[in-house]
Amino acid sequence: MSESDYQERLAKEGEVWGRVAAADAEVMAPDWRFHRTLRHNAIMHTADIDSLLACIRPGMTALEVGCGPGWLTLAMAQQGADAHGIDISRDAIQIARDYYDSIRDTVSGHASYEVADLNRITLPPEKYDVVVGKGVLHHLPEVAHLLDQIASTLKPGGLVWLADTNGDEALSTVLLASALTFVLPTEVPYRDKIKGLLRFGWRAPERIKASMQAEGLSPFEAAGREQNWLAMLQERFTIERRINMPAVTGYVTAQLKMPERPARFLLESIARIDRFLVRRGLLHNTGVVIYARKPGRETA
């Protein structure tokens, strides 16, 4: 890829996530205190993020890579940290800054935000106690560079927390997701589901796989998915804890169209079965949450 092509794609990447951040901000302020109750978060992410925030203590220095509209950076500041968020989207960063300015007097720590390209960024050495990234590595053509920079900028013993997808969706996962979203009520009417099945036949799972992996969502979507960032992480850090996410629940949650109470009950039931099948090796998950440390004295 030429430099001009790269810069063009990078600009479009920022525009995409700026539009997403703006649309989300129209519905709800970029604040974890509000976002933690949303259906998708309650089913898939709230417990893991609350566990991360329990590790953040007043006076810590914290960095979020790929912060978007900044709610996780802000949440760490609300725990008393000096927190800094970095993202490629100028519009998302502006939303983060504007909201923080509006509630700054209620935040016990401090939040700041910066526009930068994580593929080429240089971070200051041994500055942060904690570095976090949620859903960012699979967007990066240069995952190894960012992991090197995280290793450099963490203090000895510092914590790195990453939640992301690693690798390709397995056929068994795609087939189960296809079956569930075909049977359950979604935004797509049943009539259209049947038409699609008749039209695409054996190629229908390929379309579901592309949807699960959000192919085409942004110029760099899935650019880092096949780089095996978990193996890269193990080369640089000591893995303390790995949490395997459900294989299909996240996708079903995003597609399901039901009233809130029955939807929560159904999705929680699916998630329990999903996690059990993943533990037994009967389903292959790509989503993981990792707690790892930089070798040295523990600081977080």
Model pLDDT for residues 159-205, shown as the tens digit of each residue = 999 999 999 999 999 999 999 999 999 999 999 989 888 888 878 88
- Residue type present at position 81: A
Tell me which range, 96-100, 137-141, 211-215, is most confidently predicted by mean pLDDT: 96-100
pLDDT of residue 206: 87
Whether residue 57 is predicted with pLDDT greater than 80 in this model: the reply is yes
Q: Does 276 score more than 80 pLDDT?
A: yes
| Radius of gyration (C-alpha) of the chain in whole angstroms | 20
Q: What is the pTM of this model?
A: 0.93
Q: How confident is the model at residue 1 (pLDDT cuts 50, 70, 90)?
A: confident
Mean of the per-residue pLDDT values for the chain? 94
Residue from 133, 167, 134 nearest 45 by CA: 134
Confirm if 74 and 106 have CB atoms less than 8 A apart.
Answer: no
Looking at residue 131, its pLDDT comes to 98
Residue 300 pLDDT greater than 50, yes or no:
no
Residues in the chain: 300
Which pLDDT band, with edges at 50, 70 and 90, does 225 fall under?
Answer: confident
79-130 pLDDT tens trace: 999 999 999 999 999 999 999 999 999 999 999 999 999 999 999 999 999 9
Asked whether the predicted pLDDT for residue 298 surpasses 70, the reply is: no
Give CATH 3.40.50.150 domain extents, the chain.
3-168+220-245+285-293
| pLDDT classification of 291: cutoffs 50, 70, 90 | very high
- pLDDT of 283: 95
Whole-angstrom distance, CA of residue 5 vs CA of residue 73: 31
**In terms of DSSP bridges, do strands 287-293 and 154-165 run parallel, antiparallel, or are they unpaired?**
antiparallel
Rounded to an integer, the average pLDDT of 218-242 is 92
Tens digit of each residue's pLDDT (9 = 90 or more) over 160-171: 999 999 999 999
74 or 225, which is more confident: 74
The CATH number of domain 3-168+220-245+285-293 is 3.40.50.300: no
> Model confidence at 220, in pLDDT bands (50, 70, 90)?
very high
Question: Nearest CA to 211 among 227, 187, 189, 229?
Answer: 187
Q: In this model, does residue 299 exceed pLDDT 70? A: no
Distance CA 32, CA 27 (A): 14
- Determine what percent of the chain is predicted with pLDDT higher than 90: 87
Tens digit of pLDDT for each residue in 3-18?
999 999 999 999 999 9
Helices 3-27, 90-103: axis angle to 10 degrees equals 40
